[in-house]
Structure 1
Amino acid sequence: MAAQDFNFLLATDSYKITHYKQYPPNVSKVYSYFECRHKKGAQFNEVVFFGLQYLLKRYIAGCVVTEEKIQEAKVFYQMHFKQKVFDEEGWRKLLERYDGRLPIRIKAVPEGRIIPRGNVLFTVENTDPDFYWLTNYIETMLVQMWYPITVATISREFKKILAKHLKATSGSLEGLEFKLHDFGYRGVSSQESAALGGAAHLVNFCSTDTVAGLLMAQRYYNCPMAGFSIPAAEHSTIISWGRNREKEAYEYLLDQFPTGPMAVVSDSYDIFKACKHIWGDKLKERVMERSEDSMLVIRPDSGDPTETLLGVIKILEECFTCSVNSVGYKVLPSYLRIIQGDGIDLCSVEKILKKLSDEGWSAENVFFGCGSALLQKINRDTLNCAFKCSYVETNGKGMDVYKQPVTDPSKGSKRGRLSLRRNSDGLIETVERGVGKPEEDMLVTVFENGTILQEYSLDEIRKNARLWEEDLSLSQHNQDHPTSLEIHQKHIMNGVH
């Protein structure tokens, strides 16, 4: 839908059209908040806040109400409800008083910040008492923040796993930002999903094929080029040569891309024969002519991800000379790497990397690609995202409000005006009931009365999200992984050297 065709009045759950008739008489303020609820035993304990700036710029900022849109909504809702429930008078008052801009204030966590679940992420309130109903009218659109937050969070979890194994098996985090490639464009539900999810992944990594995400980062987050890719084959470009000319297909690719990295899917027929007899024999000299800057990246694409990748790397070890890095792990020649993009999710990446390290291989050898597990196999309940009212004013008197369902305590909501602070122990916590100190509040006013007041570039967001890497501690992981000396001794005993 083109921007000029978008009707803000129609961008909500239809039942909300009737809510202006349901609030208490003389209510003048409705204050609500968004959080990712904390749930016992949840897979993710903290979230990456990202995506609000796009939603504000794309749908909420500026003049979003016009006479034409009021009339369109009036006709639509009359047909939908079969009765007159649309607040034509209220919307026209907003148009006349604010030139179609929304009298709303939104305070939010800076984008890219890592926040423990169960804390407020942003608050919404009306700035004009006549438009109390507007706060929760825009809930529908704002709750769609669940998607970029969830993708950014899952992408970061991938990064944590990769960082742990890369640090343990290479001694550094060099190249970490290129270890997970976004393969998800074709697997999402829409172009906008690809854009939002693709950009959310780019908070953590710089490797992607999802052009829509790059364009979003460019247009809405002031980043000319947020991610990178390399020439790569797909099955159609290989099988179009015919089964008997597989070697010619690979050789042609080497000719077409003599410099720069190149990825070649090599399992259209038999990945193991391709690695042993073509890459490791017939084209071995051609492969060895390449350099670290022009590496060949072999891509398996079927079978059990762990067993297939391990089989491939062992064949490449037999065909090409390997070395042992400074912490005792084996590394393929710098001109040769593997990318695993089939069957990849958080569990399989952990399993693969653990198996590789157990077999003496460094995480330096592999890259990963992820599609649906990164951008599509998620929903609002993945992080239990919720938008709830916590404070109202009626007849000039404020009241803290909340929900507390007896059947599910985890759905209890927060009370009163909220702020977010770092306490004396250094932990982030939400302060309820309006008692927080303004000077301690981490929430920033990003939107007020139709105008965006605070913007973030992707570079700033990435800096916020990368703070954890500077303090990366492997003390917990060392309980599961032997020391470098132990690994070195193990490899000697196993004949690695």
Structure 2
Amino acid sequence: MNTLNLADGYKVDHRNQYPEGTELVYSNWTPRKSRIPGVDKVTFFGLQYFIKKYLQEDFDRNFFNKPKQEVVAEYRRRINAYLGPDAITFEHVEALHDLGYLPVEIKALPEGTRVPLRTAMFTIKNTLPQFFWVTNFLETILSCVIWMPCTSATISLEYRKILNQYAIETGGDMEFVPFQGHDFSFRGMAGLEAAMMSGAGHLLNFTGTDTIPAIDFLEEYYNADATKEMIGASVPATEHSVMCMGTELDEIETFKRLINETYPTGIVSIVSDTWDFWKVITEYVPQLKEQILVRDGKVVIRPDSGDPIKIICGDPEAEVGTPEYKGAVECLYETFGGTISETGYKLLDQHIGLIYGDSITLERCQQICENLKQKGFASTNVVFGIGSFTYQYVTRDTFGFAMKATYGEVNGQGREIFKDPKTDDGTKKSARGLLGIYKDANGNLEMKDRADYETEAGGELKTVYKDGQLLVEMSLAEIRDLQAQEVAMDLTQEESI
């Protein structure tokens, strides 16, 4: 596909709508609001992928490296059929192809930075005056691609903060926490690219994933190497078809075969609610206790339906003493026992575990950890499968992302431009002029608009792409380090409060 087609239709002729003499369009990408309670900072992630994939790979392969006559003819055919014959002229396309690269400069914060709301993550401007139109022509594809990895990375960090906090409070193994949040979202995402981008955002804060393409994504675009570092991992696990094929009457035999023959060592996860989850927990698993305890590894029980809070922690409205009343963790502890953490909470024997991966949300994760704590159990007794209910049930508006022009130059004269609709609640009010991003005395990011060029140049935004060249590359390891620092900072602030 001709890369120039990756734009909203109304973008096609904006070049002729700007004032005559326009030479510069300067825009920024900013999260303007939060629809998730308590989240007032958004993780910046995905720009390096966008630059490599679209500004370099796609533009080179599908535009610059094709014959000019061919790409211009393709574009003319598309637009003439779309807007009508001769609705626009195409000399700007020819000029861009002759140039051979995208004449824009992108200045950005380091990826992995948590950015306060209404603070720009990056800016973009044209580097040659005749190509002023390119800046905002790129808005559509840029917005389409970048909002999701930023959103998923932000949400995954919120999960990590919850799980870190409760692991510390209940004495869980902190080295286990990176595996405690497991990405189950692949099948529910809006296409393969969404699954990869979102899955990569998840892996900034966790190492548990079933989204294998996200690992390839991070190796391809973020300099990761699965032979040298832990990018993402999982364990052998069953699905309902496996259990069904073994038949309901022989379900316990399927368990035996899996833990003794198919996977005699290591971790194996077995879906356990195909028919009667509580029967599995209170009859089958106790019968297999000795076989499980002598294994060199862990058997992970996976409920997959019902209210996750009640299934894991127990239902206070159920009949007292029943499995439903106790919940899965308590039932397993009664069978297998375990140890007591340094902070006084029960830890299941290392040979048995639990994972729940249906309809988990931040609120449910928090509630499950809190309920377990109230019952005297460590939070690390459970792994959370985080699926598309979390990562797809979001939009660009979850954090109000927008790319807006705030400065331009016409005939050599600078113009501070902004929008402030009277019919809006203030969300869409933009900054104006050049932007300077800097850190205050406490290391917090702040933004100054209406800045001069010196202030804009001296801030935290650094040029990462200019005139077709990627100038700064970050690795997964570097981004994860930034995220870890953010988590540590939050924990320190909460302890001081």
Partner of 2:324: none
Amino acid at match of 1:204: N
1:31-42 pair list within 5 angstroms: 31-38=26-33
Cα deviation for residue 478 of structure 1 reads: 9.8
Partner of 2:235: 230
Query: 1:114-143, CA deviations, whole angstroms, 9 ceiling, x for partnerless residues?
Result: 111110111110001001111000000111
Cα deviation for residue 425 of structure 1 reads: 4.0
Partner of 2:15: 20
Distance in 1 between the 2:445 and 2:413 partners?
A: 30
Distance in 1 between the 2:433 and 2:311 partners?
A: 55
Partner of 1:72: 74
2:249 is aligned, of 241, 244, 248, to 244
Secondary structure of the 2:233 match is: coil
Distance in 2 between the 1:41 and 1:170 partners?
A: 28
The 1:347–1:40 alpha-carbon spacing in structure 2 relative to 1, beyond 3 Å, is closer
Unaligned runs of 5+ in 1: 1-5, 480-497
Amino acid at match of 1:233: T
Partner of 1:265: 271
Query: 1:282-331, CA deviations, whole angstroms, 9 ceiling, x for partnerless residues?
Result: x111111124xx11111111111111112111211221123211101011
Give the conservation status (yes or no) of the 8 Å contact 1:37–1:118. Answer: yes
1:278 is aligned, of 284, 292, 300, to 284
Identity %: 36
1:299 aligns with 2:337: no
Partner of 1:122: 122
The 1:229–1:414 alpha-carbon spacing in structure 2 relative to 1, beyond 3 Å, is same
Query: 1:469-490, CA deviations, whole angstroms, 9 ceiling, x for partnerless residues?
Result: 33353674799xxxxxxxxxxx
1:384 aligns with 2:400: yes
Amino acid at match of 1:7: N
Distance in 1 between the 2:305 and 2:35 partners?
A: 36
Distance in 2 between the 1:187 and 1:39 partners?
A: 23
Give the conservation status (yes or no) of the 8 Å contact 1:9–1:69. Answer: no
Secondary structure of the 2:250 match is: helix
1:302-451 pair list within 5 angstroms: 302-310=305-313, 311-408=327-424, 409-435=426-452, 437=455, 440-451=458-469
Cα deviation for residue 27 of structure 1 reads: 0.6
1:192-203 pair list within 5 angstroms: 192-203=193-204
The 1:86–1:216 alpha-carbon spacing in structure 2 relative to 1, beyond 3 Å, is farther
Partner of 1:169: 170
Partner of 2:294: 289
Cα deviation for residue 42 of structure 1 reads: 5.1
Distance in 2 between the 1:478 and 1:285 partners?
A: 46
Distance in 1 between the 2:369 and 2:299 partners?
A: 20
Computed over aligned residues only, the root mean square deviation of the Cα atoms, in angstroms, reads: 1.8
Give the conservation status (yes or no) of the 8 Å contact 2:72–2:90. Answer: yes
Secondary structure of the 2:12 match is: helix
1:116-195 pair list within 5 angstroms: 116-144=116-144, 145-170=146-171, 173-195=174-196
1:50 is aligned, of 45, 48, 54, to 45
Amino acid at match of 1:85: A
Partner of 2:316: none
Amino acid at match of 1:236: S
Superposition TM-score, scaled by structure 1 size = 0.91
Distance in 1 between the 2:406 and 2:413 partners?
A: 14
Partner of 1:469: 487
Distance in 2 between the 1:201 and 1:377 partners?
A: 15
Cα deviation for residue 173 of structure 1 reads: 2.7
The 1:135–1:478 alpha-carbon spacing in structure 2 relative to 1, beyond 3 Å, is closer
Give the conservation status (yes or no) of the 8 Å contact 2:107–2:464. Answer: yes
Distance in 2 between the 1:363 and 1:440 partners?
A: 45
1:469-488 pair list within 5 angstroms: 469-473=487-491, 476=494
Partner of 1:219: 220
Partner of 1:482: none
Give the conservation status (yes or no) of the 8 Å contact 1:31–1:390. Answer: yes
Cα deviation for residue 273 of structure 1 reads: 1.0
Amino acid at match of 1:299: R
Unaligned runs of 5+ in 2: 314-326
Cα deviation for residue 41 of structure 1 reads: 8.2
